[in-house]
């Protein structure tokens, strides 16, 4: 008997073919001629020298200012701990970004520590960087207290920058700051003057520049340049402008602000509320901006910022169209993207440009045929350019240690000790026993889970679950605290995962709220590894102690800190338990760093 699905598929692909043809016919013929000529030239260059950057003589440098650790961390739910911020800053340094905005030091002692740590440890790194050590920047509102605190954190870096800002749009002046334009001008000058007395590198942002009066902006820019500002960042804080408008604004400022001969750099900072962040940034660059503020994966406030990978790959792929080049090593993009996604717990949509899972996948039969005959038929970028290497080796339980070592190196995990390597190979082999082949995604899930694991306050020793359609789901867990004590608890729940979490809560006595639970399979098939991401928040509703909050530099609003946990296993209940415990360990590590008494959580002291 023929499969009913097959018949349906045949019917559907016929209809699809018709739709494709109509699309092609609607293509605008006139603009095609020009694009085609340009494209052929680019394809030729591309094939001859796939990774060649434009000559520095022919184009000017565009500074890449990454704010993943400041604006990016303001994304709802994207709280990073000290260790994670250090690792991301290190990856950004290897990636080749020019300026790393590491945080908002006055927000909390934790933010201050992270910025100071990055300035001290990552600031001096020069390994393979063509552009010297990375500039470490911190954000400060336009007050002496903020600016001093920022300087005290960034000053440990050989190259440091104070980034201060003040709103200039009438709507912000009237409703947020209740300030006149004259007062705004005076305060901006005072702030920049004070910052310049501390550091030679001062950036000023007229917040909400996108909705500010251009002539008032010229006045503010002239005044802050006189006071010592060296970078003028023009933010479209609310993601309101369109490319022509934003480009015109930058051009107006470049033409009318008195900056000639003063070495001042104009910068873009665009938000993606209307999906135009990258387009606006590119318009700003065309109009004369020579610094772009970006984040990895485009994370940031609300709909996010301009994505670093989009700007960098646009300049790489369409290099003939733009007068600038960057020092970013595009082969590091995939690794940075995965790291930021993993640490923040913010998954990347599959269709995300450059870094989405489908960005380089050619699944449709017609496309695949074309790609096989000539790559350039459907591929405008080579996957290797962003660091996606093709895995031609099949790894399984008969693969040797050397094969796994080589694969790990290709994936960017080259610096393991012999013991660490043995430990991972052991884990890969166990997995290979269960599911025959081990893919890159499996390897990454296992490795990243281990190396990014928070300090273990609690570890899972045993888990037993009964579930089904005629039983009440019940879980029994045995957990071990770091002092060696073991605790076993059982609980019932509405489903097996709920039962597991109730049992863990009973065993650990931790007051946390579960904000998010997501599960996905890492590879295809029923034998795939399941990955669970859990987001927890401390439950402060009954506690008298101060709540653990984050200050938003722009709105002044305070939000709750959230903690992400990951778990990967072929058994999704084990993955669920591990993810929950990992998130819980982060809550505890954060509390410990802030000086809460450890005895509070030790099982022997729990009441
Ligand atoms: Zn922003």
Residues 164 and 226 in one domain: yes
Instruction: Identify the domain boundary among 438, 465, 491.
Output: 438
Residues 496 and 426 in one domain: no
- Could you tell me the pLDDT band of residue 407, with boundaries at 50, 70 and 90? confident
The predicted-structure confidence for 97-150, as pLDDT tens digits, reads as follows: 999 999 999 998 889 999 999 999 999 999 778 889 999 999 999 999 999 999
| Residue numbers of the domain that contains 426 | 395-438
Residues 434 and 461 in one domain: no
CA of 64 to the centre of ligand 1 (A): 15
Q: Beta strands 63-66 and 99-101: pairing type? A: parallel
Neighbouring residues of 284: CB distance < 8 A, sequence distance ≥ 6: 234, 246, 247, 250, 266, 268, 270, 292
Residue 35 lies inside a defined structural domain of this protein: no
The predicted-structure confidence for 58-73, as pLDDT tens digits, reads as follows: 789 999 999 999 999 9
Residue 13 lies inside a defined structural domain of this protein: no
Instruction: Give the integer Cα–Cα distance in Å for 427 and 421.
Output: 10
Q: pTM for the complete prediction?
A: 0.82
Highest mean pLDDT among 12-16, 43-47, 557-561: 557-561
CA of 71 to the centre of ligand 1 (A): 5
Residue 27: per-residue pLDDT? 36
CA of 305 to the centre of ligand 1 (A): 7
Instruction: Identify the domain boundary among 303, 323, 344.
Output: 344
Alpha-carbon Rg of the chain, whole angstroms? 26
Residue 363 lies inside a defined structural domain of this protein: no
Residue 543 lies inside a defined structural domain of this protein: yes
Instruction: Quote the mean pLDDT of the chain.
Output: 85
Residue 266 lies inside a defined structural domain of this protein: yes
Residue 307 lies inside a defined structural domain of this protein: yes
The predicted-structure confidence for 340-371, as pLDDT tens digits, reads as follows: 998 888 889 989 999 998 888 765 555 556 66
The predicted-structure confidence for 139-163, as pLDDT tens digits, reads as follows: 999 999 999 999 999 999 999 999 9
What would you measure as the largest C-alpha separation in the chain, in angstroms? 83
Residues 430 and 309 in one domain: no
Which of these, 372, 407, 380, lies nearest to 392 by C-alpha position?
407
CA of 293 to the centre of ligand 1 (A): 9
Residue 171 lies inside a defined structural domain of this protein: yes
Residues 409 and 478 in one domain: no
Residue 7 lies inside a defined structural domain of this protein: no
Residue 41 has pLDDT above 80, yes or no: no
Q: How many domains does the chain have?
A: 3
Residues 413 and 290 in one domain: no
Residues 337 and 404 in one domain: no
CA of 267 to the centre of ligand 1 (A): 12
Q: Pick the range with the lowest mean pLDDT from 26-35, 168-177, 489-498.
A: 26-35
Residues 430 and 574 in one domain: no
Contact 196, 160 (CB under 8 A): no
Residues 142 and 270 in one domain: yes
Instruction: Identify the domain boundary among 344, 371, 406.
Output: 344
Residues 419 and 481 in one domain: no
Residues 181 and 75 in one domain: yes
Cα dihedral sign for 399, 403, 409, 414?
positive
Q: 3-state DSSP call for residue 319?
A: helix
Residue 123: per-residue pLDDT? 97
CA of 280 to the centre of ligand 1 (A): 14
Residue 601: per-residue pLDDT? 54
The CATH code of the domain that includes 77 is 3.20.20.70
CA of 67 to the centre of ligand 1 (A): 8
Residues 554 and 523 in one domain: yes
- Could you tell me the pLDDT band of residue 9, with boundaries at 50, 70 and 90? very low
Instruction: Give the integer Cα–Cα distance in Å for 479 and 481.
Output: 7
């Amino acid at each position: 008997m023929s499969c009913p699905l097959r018949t349906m598929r045949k019917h559907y692909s016929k209809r699809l073919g018709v739709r494709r043809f109509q699309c092609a016919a609607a293509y605008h013929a006139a603009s095609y001629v020009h694009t085609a000529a340009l494209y052929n030239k680019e394809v030729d260059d591309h094939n001859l020298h796939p990774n060649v950057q434009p000559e520095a003589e022919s184009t000017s440098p565009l500074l890449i200012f990454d704010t993943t650790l400041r604006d990016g961390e303001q994304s709802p739910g994207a709280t990073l701990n000290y260790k994670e911020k250090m690792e991301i800053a290190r990856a950004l340094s290897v990636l080749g970004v020019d300026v790393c905005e590491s945080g908002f030091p006055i927000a909390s002692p934790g933010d201050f520590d992270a910025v100071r740590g990055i300035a001290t440890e990552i600031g001096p790194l020069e390994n393979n960087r063509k552009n010297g050590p990375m500039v470490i920047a911190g954000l400060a509102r336009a007050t002496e207290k903020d600016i001093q605190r920022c300087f005290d954190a960034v000053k440990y870096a050989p190259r440091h920058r104070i980034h201060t800002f003040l709103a200039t749009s009438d709507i912000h002046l009237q409703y947020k700051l209740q300030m006149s334009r004259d007062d705004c001008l005076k305060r901006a000058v005072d702030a920049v003057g004070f910052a310049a007395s501390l550091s030679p590198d001062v950036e000023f942002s007229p917040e909400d520049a996108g909705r500010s009066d251009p002539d008032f902006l010229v006045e503010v820019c002239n005044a802050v340049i006189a006071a010592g500002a060296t970078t003028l960042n023009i933010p479209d804080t609310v993601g309101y402008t369109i490319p022509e408008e934003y480009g015109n604004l930058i051009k107006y400022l470049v033409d009318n602000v008195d900056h000639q001969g003063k070495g001042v750099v104009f910068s873009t900072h665009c938000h993606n509320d209307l999906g135009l962040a990258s387009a606006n940034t590119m318009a700003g660059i065309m109009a004369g901006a020579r610094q772009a503020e970006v984040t990895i994966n485009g994370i940031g406030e609300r709909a996010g910022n301009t994505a670093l990978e989009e700007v960098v790959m646009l300049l790489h792929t369409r290099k003939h169209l733009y007068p600038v080049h960057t020092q970013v090593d595009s082969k590091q993009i995939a690794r940075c993207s995965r790291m930021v996604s993993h640490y923040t717990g913010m998954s990347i949509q599959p269709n995300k440009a450059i870094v989405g899972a489908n960005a380089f996948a050619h699944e449709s039969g017609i496309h695949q045929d074309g790609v096989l005959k000539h790559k350039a038929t459907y591929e405008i970028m080579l996957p290797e350019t962003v660091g996606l290497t093709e895995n031609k080796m099949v790894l399984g339980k008969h693969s040797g240690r050397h094969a796994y070592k080589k694969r790990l190196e290709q994936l960017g995990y080259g610096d393991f000790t012999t013991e660490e390597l043995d430990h991972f190979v052991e884990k890969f082999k166990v997995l290979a026993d269960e599911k025959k082949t081990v893919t890159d995604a499996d390897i990454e899930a296992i490795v990243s889970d281990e190396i990014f694991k928070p300090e273990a306050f609690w570890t899972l020793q045993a888990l037993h679950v009964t579930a089904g359609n005629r039983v009440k789901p019940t879980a029994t867990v045995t957990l071990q605290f770091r002092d060696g004590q073991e605790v076993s608890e059982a609980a019932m729940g509405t489903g097996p995962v709920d039962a597991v979490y109730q049992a863990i809560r009973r065993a650990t006595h931790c007051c946390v709220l579960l904000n998010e639970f997501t599960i996905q399979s890492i590879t295809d098939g029923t034998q795939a590894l399941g990955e669970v991401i859990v987001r927890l928040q401390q439950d402060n509703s009954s506690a008298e102690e101060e709540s653990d909050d984050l200050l938003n530099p722009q709105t002044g609003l305070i939000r709750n800190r959230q903690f992400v946990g990951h778990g990967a296993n072929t058994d999704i209940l084990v993955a669920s338990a591990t993810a929950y415990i990992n998130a819980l360990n982060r809550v505890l590590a954060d509390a410990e760093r802030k000086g809460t008494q450890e005895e509070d959580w030790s099982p022997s002291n729990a009441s």
